[in-house]
């Protein structure tokens, strides 16, 4: 019996939902079920999954980081500016990833060292990083750096930076066998995050902090170090998401990913993570991200305007949480009734 | 009186005045009345949604859909005006739209038990999509000109709308001072279970808070349409985050129970003033967000540092007092544990 428990898991439910979704969309429009198409269309939305996987680790601790959407744009523009300033592309990528990691670590250190709500801190960071991302090109101009193109760095603010080398854009447009590179990157990151969460001490620390941070501290969990690390990892994931998107669009822009916040949080929550911490699954986030992404693709393929998509995503977010609350209430009342029943029988047996 | 000077609202007000004075040393034009009136005027939208947001955050909730609610209300307002309804009816329609949207949030949070950030993030998508669906994605233009009269007509060289919002703010401030029930917002935010045990109807209080957030977003929509004379698709885009930033900056804690309407007013003024100051300093507008974020971060971290220092001082004082009491009592052999 116990080896069938996975059938009842939330991840399995998501997998079924994904299959049903693909089947329904395929029935309405058979062209949708072309395997190659299905694989390739993931490139449009995997940046959401990558960022959501990073955020899952944070939400596990009961925290939140909404600044990831700004970090995507910041990483992208940092890569582009480093490249046009003459850095080799591998160095530019390294700088962009380092910026994401450090920015995340900065978020984490403020969260770990103050009692200010993480939402407030990362709200400030959301503004800060997006402002830096949009302002960076003008700053370089003011500091007297020279860009190769006409109009100086400032022109990049509006046009985006093109002409990135093939070796980099391959990460957005290339493929290994059947798998497009963005999906490969996503799979690798999901596996790493899943391993961290399920098979390392660090992962257990995350959950313990989410269940009860004070108890975690008293049992010797290095609270500050763990928090800083997890926020840094999230920053890194956001930067990767930004770079994958950059490679896919073959253009570095400071506003990449800015509209993804609703989708990212929906993927995490639909994936089964509790916003209060202590409960969550990287695999669930990954599957929920696929469900959401294909839903969008399918709706668009059906000729439904993209305006309706946020309505459905929003309804899905609310519906999934409401459903889980209802389910929990049902289980509770069932358990109560069962307990009452056994108690009644025990009393009856005693009475005889 | 000294309580006012120690409050966070006052600290941010000082920062605001200090910032304007500092910028005036670089560019005198800042101190011209017309500049200050302009700052006031362009802060109205943010101020109104921030006041609504304040009620929710006081009760330890959060509403990230207020910008989208303002967007939907603006669309309904525009439709009503274009359909030829008189201005008061159109205004009522906008307010009602906001109120209803807020009540939807309230139902989800209070009666279903969905965490506020999830519920309102969901309705953010829904309302924003709804706005596009209602308008077919195109702007509402050709709104009767007379609506702009509200914004253009000036009394004592200050736009009528500023007077209107000022009266509203003062009325709300007086109501919050005079009506005892408004303290329920604070009680619920500070300690939900405690408030419940005191006999406060916590559900009703939270329900009203979310509804008010919607209502004020509706009012903000009227101001917005009045000021620019048409309804672009971006109405209220990203403003929900600015509204949260404004109230938090002004001293409302996301942990609930602290802050006042002045937090929302001063916070909104501050964030709007930052944008104007950038212009006077000739800093490219692309840095606006960075400065707003840095200010918010600095203020909340500073506030934490001040609170911690105060707490530490309180504890040291108490420790010293205890020690004194102990040495005084020691000969009699009495423990001083009962003191606290």
**With contact defined as beta carbons under 8 Å apart, do A63 and A80 qualify?**
no
Nearest-CB residue to A275 (from B113, B117, B304) = B117
How many angstroms separate the CA of residue A315 from the nearest CA in chain B? 6
**With contact defined as beta carbons under 8 Å apart, do B97 and B73 qualify?**
yes
Q: Does A290 touch chain B (CB under 8 A)?
A: no
Residues in a beta bridge with B154: B159
Q: For B111, which DSSP code?
A: I
Chain center to CA of A155: 31
Q: Tell me if B304 is assigned to some domain.
A: yes
Q: Does B282 touch chain A (CB under 8 A)?
A: no
Instruction: Evaluate if residue B75 carries a pLDDT over 60.
Output: yes
Percentage of residues of chain A with pLDDT beyond 70: 93
Q: Does A352 touch chain B (CB under 8 A)?
A: no
pLDDT digits (tens, 9 = 90+) for B22-46: 888 888 887 888 888 888 888 999 9
Q: Tell me if B336 is assigned to some domain.
A: no
Given pLDDT bands bounded at 50, 70 and 90, which one contains residue B336? very low
- B121 and B53, same structural domain? yes
User: What's the rounded mean pLDDT across residues A234-256?
Assistant: 91
Q: Tell me if B340 is assigned to some domain.
A: no
pLDDT of residue A116: 87
- B127 and B112, same structural domain? yes
- B274 and B311, same structural domain? no
Q: How far apart are CA A181 and CA A163, in angstroms?
A: 19
Chain B 230-259, CB below 8 Å of chain A: which residues?
241, 244-245, 248, 253-255
With 0-12 / 13-18 / 19 or more C-beta atoms within 10 angstroms meaning exposed / middle / buried, residue B128 is buried
How many angstroms separate the CA of residue A349 from the nearest CA in chain B? 39
- Confidence (pTM): 0.86
Given pLDDT bands bounded at 50, 70 and 90, which one contains residue B338? very low
Q: Does B15 touch chain A (CB under 8 A)?
A: no
Which domain-ending residue is among B268, B283, B298? B283
Domain housing B228:
2-283
Q: Which residues of A touch B126 (CB under 8 A)?
A: 310-311, 314-315
- B252 and B164, same structural domain? yes
Residues 6+ apart with CB under 8 A from A146: A152
Nearest-CB residue to A120 (from B121, B123, B248) = B248
Q: Tell me if B118 is assigned to some domain.
A: yes
pLDDT digits (tens, 9 = 90+) for B97-122: 999 999 999 999 999 888 888 899 89
pLDDT digits (tens, 9 = 90+) for B198-216: 888 888 888 999 999 999 9
- B165 and B27, same structural domain? yes
pLDDT of residue B260: 86
pLDDT digits (tens, 9 = 90+) for B52-72: 999 999 988 889 899 999 999
Q: Which residues of B touch A261 (CB under 8 A)?
A: 121
Residues 6+ apart with CB under 8 A from A351: none
Instruction: Evaluate if residue B339 carries a pLDDT over 50.
Output: no
Residues 6+ apart with CB under 8 A from A256: A72, A73, A76, A242, A245, A246, A249
Q: Report domain A2-304's class.
A: mainly alpha
pLDDT digits (tens, 9 = 90+) for A286-298: 999 999 999 888 8
How many angstroms separate the CA of residue A113 from the nearest CA in chain B? 10
User: What's the rounded mean pLDDT across residues B252-269?
Assistant: 85
Instruction: Evaluate if residue A61 carries a pLDDT over 90.
Output: yes
Query: Which CATH number fits the domain that encloses residue B52?
Result: 1.10.3470
Q: How far apart are CA B278 and CA B272, in angstroms?
A: 10
Q: How far apart are CA B58 and CA B61, in angstroms?
A: 7
Chain A 140-159, CB below 8 Å of chain B: which residues?
154, 157
pLDDT digits (tens, 9 = 90+) for B117-143: 889 989 998 998 888 888 876 777 777
Q: How far apart are CA B247 and CA B243, in angstroms?
A: 6
Q: Does B126 touch chain A (CB under 8 A)?
A: yes
- B207 and B293, same structural domain? no
How many angstroms separate the CA of residue A322 from the nearest CA in chain B? 6
- B317 and B179, same structural domain? no
How many angstroms separate the CA of residue A233 from the nearest CA in chain B? 21
Domain chopping of chain A, boundaries: 2-304, 309-352
Q: Tell me if B28 is assigned to some domain.
A: yes
Chain B 50-109, CB below 8 Å of chain A: which residues?
62, 108
User: What's the rounded mean pLDDT across residues A106-116?
Assistant: 92
Q: State how beta strands B158-159 and A175-176 pair.
A: unpaired
Contact criterion met (CB < 8 Å) for B126 and A269: no
Q: Which residues of B touch A314 (CB under 8 A)?
A: 121-126, 129
State chain A's mean pLDDT as an integer.
87
Given pLDDT bands bounded at 50, 70 and 90, which one contains residue A96? very high
- B169 and B132, same structural domain? yes
- B236 and B202, same structural domain? yes
Nearest-CB residue to B124 (from A134, A262, A322) = A262
Q: How far apart are CA A228 and CA A278, in angstroms?
A: 17
Instruction: Evaluate if residue A258 carries a pLDDT over 90.
Output: no
- B303 and B233, same structural domain? no
**With contact defined as beta carbons under 8 Å apart, do B68 and B124 qualify?**
yes
- B325 and B241, same structural domain? no
Please tell me the total count of domains within chain B. 2
pLDDT digits (tens, 9 = 90+) for A175-205: 888 889 999 999 999 999 999 998 999 999 9
Q: Which residue of A has its CA nearest to B117?
A: A275
**With contact defined as beta carbons under 8 Å apart, do A138 and A269 qualify?**
no
- B266 and B202, same structural domain? yes
3-state secondary structure (DSSP) of residue A114: coil
């Amino acid at each position: 019996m116990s080896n069938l428990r996975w059938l009842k898991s939330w991840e399995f439910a998501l997998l079924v939902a994904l299959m049903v979704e693909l089947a329904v969309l395929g029935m309405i429009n058979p062209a949708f079920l072309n395997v190659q198409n299905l694989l390739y269309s993931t490139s449009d939305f995997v940046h959401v999954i990558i960022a959501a996987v990073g955020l899952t680790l944070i939400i596990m601790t009961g925290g939140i980081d909404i600044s990831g959407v700004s970090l995507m744009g910041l990483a992208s523009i940092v890569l582009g500016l480093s490249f046009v300033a003459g850095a080799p592309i591998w160095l530019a990528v390294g700088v962009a990833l380092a910026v994401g990691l450090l920015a995340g670590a900065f978020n984490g250190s403020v969260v770990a060292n103050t009692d200010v709500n993480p939402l407030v801190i990362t709200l400030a960071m959301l503004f800060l990083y997006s402002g830096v991302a949009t302002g960076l090109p003008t700053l370089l101009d003011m500091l007297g750096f020279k860009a190769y193109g006409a109009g100086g760095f400032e022109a990049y603010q509006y046009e985006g930076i093109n002409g990135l080398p093939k070796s980099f854009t391959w990460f957005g447009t290339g493929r290994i066998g059947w798998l497009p590179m963005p999906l490969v990157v996503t799979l690798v990151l999901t596996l790493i995050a899943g391993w961290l969460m399920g098979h390392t001490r660090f992962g257990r620390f995350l959950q313990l902090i989410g269940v009860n941070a004070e108890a975690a501290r008293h049992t010797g969990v290095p609270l500050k170090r763990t928090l800083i690390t997890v926020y840094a990892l999230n920053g890194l994931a956001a930067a990767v998401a930004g770079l994958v998107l950059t490679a896919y669009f073959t253009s570095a822009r400071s506003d990449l990913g800015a509209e993804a916040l609703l989708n990212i949080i929906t993927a995490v929550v639909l994936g089964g993570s509790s916003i209060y911490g202590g409960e969550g699954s990287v695999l669930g986030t990954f599957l929920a991200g696929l469900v959401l992404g294909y839903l969008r693709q399918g709706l668009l393929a059906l000729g439904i305007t993209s305006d309706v998509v946020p309505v459905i995503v929003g309804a899905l977010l609310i519906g999934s949480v409401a459903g889980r609350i209802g389910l929990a209430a049902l289980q509770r009342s069932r358990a109560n009734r069962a307990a009452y029943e056994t108690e009644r029988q025990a009393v009856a047996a005693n009475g005889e | 009186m000294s309580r006012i000077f120690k409050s966070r609202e006052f600290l941010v007000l000082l920062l605001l005045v200090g910032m304007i004075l500092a910028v005036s040393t670089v560019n005198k034009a800042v101190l011209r009345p017309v500049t200050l009136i302009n700052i006031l005027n362009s802060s109205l939208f943010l101020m109104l949604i921030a006041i609504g947001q304040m009620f929710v955050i006081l009760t330890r909730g959060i509403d990230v859909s207020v910008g989208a609610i303002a967007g939907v209300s603006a669309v309904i307002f525009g439709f009503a005006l274009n359909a030829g309804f008189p201005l008061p009816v159109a205004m009522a329609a906008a307010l009602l739209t906001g109120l209803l949207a807020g009540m939807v949030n309230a139902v989800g949070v209070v009666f279903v038990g969905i965490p506020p950030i999830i519920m309102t993030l969901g309705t953010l998508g829904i309302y924003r999509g709804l706005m596009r669906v209602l308008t077919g994605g195109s702007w509402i233009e050709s709104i009767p000109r007379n609506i702009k009269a509200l914004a253009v007509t000036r009394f004592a060289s200050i736009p009528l709308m500023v007077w209107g919002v000022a009266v509203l703010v003062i009325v709300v401030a007086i109501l919050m001072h005079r009506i005892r029930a408004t303290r329920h917002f604070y009680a619920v935010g500070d300690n939900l279970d405690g408030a419940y045990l005191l006999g406060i109807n916590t559900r009703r209080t939270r329900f009203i808070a979310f509804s008010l957030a919607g209502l004020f977003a509706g009012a903000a929509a009227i101001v917005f349409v009045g000021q620019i004379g048409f309804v672009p698709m971006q109405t209220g885009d990203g403003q929900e985050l600015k509204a949260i930033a404004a109230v938090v900056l002004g001293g409302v804690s996301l942990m609930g129970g602290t802050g006042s309407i002045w937090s929302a007013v001063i916070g909104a003024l501050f964030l709007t003033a930052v944008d104007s100051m950038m212009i006077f300093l000739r800093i490219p507008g692309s840095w606006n967000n960075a400065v707003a974020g840095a200010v918010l971060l600095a203020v909340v971290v500073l506030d934490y540092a001040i609170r911690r220092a105060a707490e530490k001082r309180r504890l040291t004082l108490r420790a010293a007092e205890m020690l004194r009491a102990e040495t005084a009592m020691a000969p009699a052999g009495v423990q001083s544990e009962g003191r606290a």
